[in-house]
Amino acid sequence: MDLWVRHLLPLGLTLLLVLMEAMPTHLPGFAEISPLLPLIGVYYWSIFRPDLLPAVMAFFIGLLSDIIMGMPLGVSALIYLLVQGTTASQRRFFLGKPFVVAWCCFSLVAVSAIFLEWALVSMLNGHLIPLPAVLFEMLMTVACYPLFSWLFGRAQSALLRDA
């Protein structure tokens, strides 16, 4: 039972990021520029524990995120699936590299993912979402990566070393 619960850690933490993203802040306009936190979880766990966050889990996280955030159904699921597949396939490249390499690569992944999200949502809604808000969302997401990466690393070393 203990091992089973430990194996749910990546999914649980990434779902927590989905809930954090959906939390109301009561700040006008913040919803449009808030960081895409679940993307950080999908990226991190796809590098360090892809066995515990497989593609089906990334899809489920994206679908849940779409439902909670009121996005067109399937947009986040597609994006998280693409991020999980791409990142997990490049896992060997990341292992043993300094943090800065992972952060720079995350920046490229985040910009690509958020741009794809912008294009898909704009197309599905029939009007363009303001680009300045999207650019700020990209910056916020990239800026949040170090904190969450550190937290996930601590959780991984504390709870998943024996798993």
The pLDDT of residue 32: 64
The pLDDT of residue 133: 87
Give the CA distances from residue 143 to residues 40, 63, 73, 121, in Å, rounded to whole numbers and listed in that order: 11, 25, 27, 23
Look at residue 143 and tell me whether its pLDDT is greater than 80: yes
The pLDDT of residue 160: 66
- pLDDT tier at 130, thresholds 50, 70, 90: confident
Kindly state the tokens that stand for 131.
Answer: 């680009």
The pLDDT of residue 1: 59
Domains of the chain: 2-21+33-159 (1.10.1760)
- Strands (E) located in the chain: none
What distance in Å separates the CA atoms of residue 25 and residue 12, rounded to the nearest whole number? 22
Place of tokens 């520029």: 33
Name the residue among 11, 151, 161 with its Cα closest to residue 80.
11
What distance in Å separates the CA atoms of residue 53 and residue 132, rounded to the nearest whole number? 32
Report the percentage of the chain scoring pLDDT > 70. Answer: 91
Look at residue 141 and tell me whether its pLDDT is greater than 70: yes
The pLDDT of residue 6: 79
The pLDDT of residue 161: 66
More confident residue, 2 or 83: 83
- Say if CB 83 and CB 41 are below 8 A apart: no
Q: What's the predicted TM-score (pTM) here?
A: 0.91
- Say if CB 48 and CB 92 are below 8 A apart: no
Kindly state the tokens that stand for 44.
Answer: 């991190």
Name the residue among 16, 35, 55 with its Cα closest to residue 106.
35
